[in-house]
């Protein structure tokens, strides 16, 4: 008993703690957010949690700062430096986040069917008063044969890890004796399909890696590594479906072009636009020709009988007012819905672009900002400064500059790990 009394003195129990943590919340509407991308995370950070019981459902438990994803493929920035755990955002209960997929939506009865990522046979349902669909989109293969099987995509951290591992593998394998010259050339030719920001920035990071780190560590291979960009008409334009006219087929070691040319390669990165997720495909609501959910100008899903389902980001499109599928649109939509739900903003959603920034390699950037158009090292500095301020937490704002500094002083990490 004396030991128990001592423990009670050291760890006093606060009355009502369990009921506060685990009791069902009453008197507030339940807001369910599907997805932890730019739109969903923006809504989560800005919503007044005193007014709603917020439940987030997503197959990943972090927010990814996508503008720096290409940097992780070669080690300029490390993976954990650009992700922010969703649970770091204040929740009322520990159960307010579910690592799950949404599989079916019963709009009429306001019930969402889900399936656990960790245990797929574990299914459950979630009731809601308001639902926001922010599930993003998949890469669009345009039904080009072999893309799903042989190409690499660049949408998330696991994609970047696979690309990084393949790049190091190919360099190391090219040094093995016994390889023919044609086999060596095939391994060291990297093909990027798509001239949008993702493809261009990945190509820029890859170029820097070749010039700085291959030259430093694999100096005998520097002049043998080649990067080929396959695009429809011009780089840094909007994604163009006509790419399928250029890339006809992808195999494990080659990209076949429609003009009959074969591009032997050891890596194909496919970055040619967006297509809907399986969940979005399953919804019986109005969609545009790209499969995106159509909404009104308040982001209500058109065809929802309850008027309590909303959609934003890459998975949605405002009828008669299409917007580009970019991070700043989704982020602004998340802020707009947070204000709308809290009664602060009842006007229709409007969007004004803050401009575009892109890195093109060798400490050069391009900036297309209202009234300001720049290129060169000043644009690169602006690119880094702007994105550094946009990182979600001070932890990331410290880690990213540290990664940049380590890269300049010591080079990129060339270790291969799966």
Find the largest Cα–Cα distance for the chain.
86
Does residue 166 sit in the same domain as residue 243?
yes
pLDDT tens-digit readout, 326-341: 999 999 999 999 999 9
- Which range marks the domain in which residue 312 is found? 26-137+276-341
Query: Residue 318: inside a domain, yes or no?
Result: yes
Mean pLDDT, range 132-139, rounded to an integer: 97
Q: What per-residue confidence (pLDDT) applies to 260?
A: 81
**What is the per-residue pLDDT across 179-230, written as a single tens digit (0 to 9) for each?**
999 999 999 999 999 888 899 999 999 999 999 999 899 887 888 999 998 8
Q: Which residues of 240-250 are buried (b: 16+ CB within 10 A; e: fewer)?
A: beebbebbbeb
Please check whether residues 246 and 294 belong to one and the same domain: no
The CA-to-CA distance between both ends of the chain, in Å, stands at: 53
Instruction: Tell me: do 282 and 253 sit in the same domain.
Output: no
Residue 138's pLDDT band, with cuts at 50, 70 and 90, is very high
- pLDDT of 10 strictly over 80: no
pLDDT band of residue 272 (cuts 50, 70, 90) is: confident
Long-range contacts from 350-354, C-beta under 8 angstroms, 24+ separation: 351/323, 353/324, 353/328, 354/328
Whether residues 63 and 121 fall in one domain: yes
H/E element, 280: helix 278-282
Segment 15-50, tens digit of pLDDT: 333 323 223 445 789 999 999 999 999 999 999 988
- 154 and 84 within one domain: no
Q: What is the pLDDT of residue 14?
A: 40
CATH of the domain at 321: 3.50.50.100
Residue 348 lies in a domain: no
Residue 1 clears pLDDT 90, i.e. is over it? no
For residue range 299-329, what is the model confidence (pLDDT) as tens digits? 999 999 999 999 999 999 999 999 999 999 9
Determine the pLDDT at residue 232.
66
């696991």: which residue's tokens? 158
Q: What is the mean pLDDT of residues 142-152?
A: 93
> Of 273, 298, 314, which residue sits at a domain end?
273
Residue 233 pLDDT: 59
Q: What is the pLDDT of residues 92-130, one digit of tens each?
A: 666 589 999 999 999 999 999 999 999 999 999 999 999
Q: Is residue 38 part of a domain?
A: yes
Whether residue 284 is found in the same domain as residue 319: yes
Asked if residue 231 and residue 116 are part of one domain, the reply reads no
* Predicted pLDDT at 89: 80
Q: Which residues have a Cβ under 8 Å from the Cβ of 12 and sit 6 or more positions away?
A: none
Domain count, the chain: 3
Higher pLDDT, 297 or 247: 297
Residue that is last in its domain, among 246, 273, 300: 273
Instruction: Write down the mean pLDDT value for the chain.
Output: 88
Higher-confidence residue of 65 and 95: namely 65
Please identify, among 237, 252, 273, the residue that sits at the C-terminal boundary of a domain.
273
Residue-wise pLDDT tens digits, 236-267: 554 344 444 556 788 888 988 877 888 899 99
Confidence of residue 55 (pLDDT cuts 50, 70, 90): very high
379 with 367: CB under 8 angstroms?
yes
Between 163 and 16, name the one with better pLDDT. 163
Tokens of 217: 């560590």
CB-count exposure of residue 347 (10 Å: 0-12, 13-18, 19+): exposed
Q: In this predicted structure, what is the pLDDT of residue 99?
A: 96
295: β partners = 301, 318
How far apart are alpha carbons 270 and 192 in whole angstroms?
Answer: 6
Together in a domain, 201 and 315: no
Q: Do residues 141 and 132 make contact, with C-beta atoms less than 8 angstroms apart?
A: no
Higher local confidence (pLDDT), 68 or 356: 68
146 shares a domain with 209? yes
Asked whether residue 410 is domain-assigned, the answer is: yes
Q: Are 391 and 83 in contact (CB under 8 A)?
A: no
- Is residue 309, in this structure, part of any structural domain at all? yes
Are both 297 and 244 inside the same structural domain?
no
Asked if the model's pLDDT at residue 345 lies above 80, the reply is no
257 part of a folded domain: yes
Q: Find, among 71, 47, 79, 137, the residue nearest to 365 by Cα.
A: 71
19 falls within a domain: no
Token digits of residue 224: 């043998």
Confidence of residue 13 (pLDDT cuts 50, 70, 90): very low
| Pair 32, 117 in one domain | yes
Task: Decide if 39 is inside a domain.
Answer: yes
- For residue 154, what is the domain's CATH number? 3.50.50.60
For 63, half-sphere exposure in the C-beta direction (CA atoms, 13 angstrom radius) is 25
Residue with the larger pLDDT of the pair 164 and 355: 164
What's this model's pTM, rounded to 2 decimal places?
A: 0.89
Shared domain for 182 and 116, answered yes or no, is no
């Amino acid at each position: 008993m004396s030991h128990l009394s001592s423990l009670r003195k050291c760890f006093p129990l606060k009355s009502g703690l369990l009921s506060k943590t685990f009791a069902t919340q009453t008197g507030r509407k339940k807001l369910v957010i599907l997805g932890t991308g730019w739109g969903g995370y923006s809504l989560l950070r800005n919503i007044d949690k005193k007014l709603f019981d917020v439940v987030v459902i997503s197959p990943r438990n972090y927010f990814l700062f996508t503008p720096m994803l290409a940097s992780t493929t070669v080690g300029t920035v490390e993976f954990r430096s650009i992700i922010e755990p969703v649970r770091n955002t204040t929740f009322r209960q520990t159960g307010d986040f579910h690592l799950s997929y949404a599989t079916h939506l019963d709009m009429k009865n306001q019930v969402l069917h889900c399936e656990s990522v960790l245990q797929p046979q574990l299914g459950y349902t979630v009731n809601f008063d308001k639902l926001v669909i922010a599930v993003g989109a998949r890469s669009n293969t345009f039904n080009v044969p072999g893309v799903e099987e042989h190409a690499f995509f660049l949408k998330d951290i696991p994609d970047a890890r696979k690309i990084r591992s393949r790049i190091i593998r190919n360099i190391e394998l090219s040094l093995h004796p016994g390889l023919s010259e044609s086999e060596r050339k095939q391994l060291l030719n990297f093909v990027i399909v798509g001239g949008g920001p993702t493809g261009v920035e990945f190509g820029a990071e890859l170029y820097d890696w070749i010039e700085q780190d291959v030259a430093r560590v694999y100096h005998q291979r520097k002049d043998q590594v080649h990067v080929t960009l396959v695009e429809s008409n011009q780089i840094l334009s909007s994604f163009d479906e006509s790419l399928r006219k250029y890339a006809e087929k992808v195999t494990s070691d080659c990209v076949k072009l429609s003009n009959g040319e074969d591009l032997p390669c050891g890596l194909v990165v496919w970055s040619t636009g967006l297509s809907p997720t399986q969940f979005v495909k399953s919804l019986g609501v109005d969609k545009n020709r790209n499969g995106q959910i159509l909404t009104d100008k308040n982001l209500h899903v058109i065809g929802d009988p309850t008027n309590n389902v909303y959609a934003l980001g890459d998975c949605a499109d405002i009828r008669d007012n299409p917007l580009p599928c970019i991070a700043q649109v989704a982020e602004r939509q998340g802020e707009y819905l947070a204000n709308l739900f809290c009664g602060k903003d009842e006007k229709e959603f409007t969007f004004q672009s803050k401009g575009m920034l892109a890195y093109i390699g060798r400490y050069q950037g391009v900036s297309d900002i209202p009234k300001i158009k720049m290129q060169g090292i000043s644009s690169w500095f602006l690119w880094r400064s702007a994105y550094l301020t946009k990182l979600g937490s001070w932890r990331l704002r410290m880690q990213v500059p540290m990664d940049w500094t380590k890269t300049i002083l010591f080079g990129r990490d060339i270790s291969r790990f799966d």
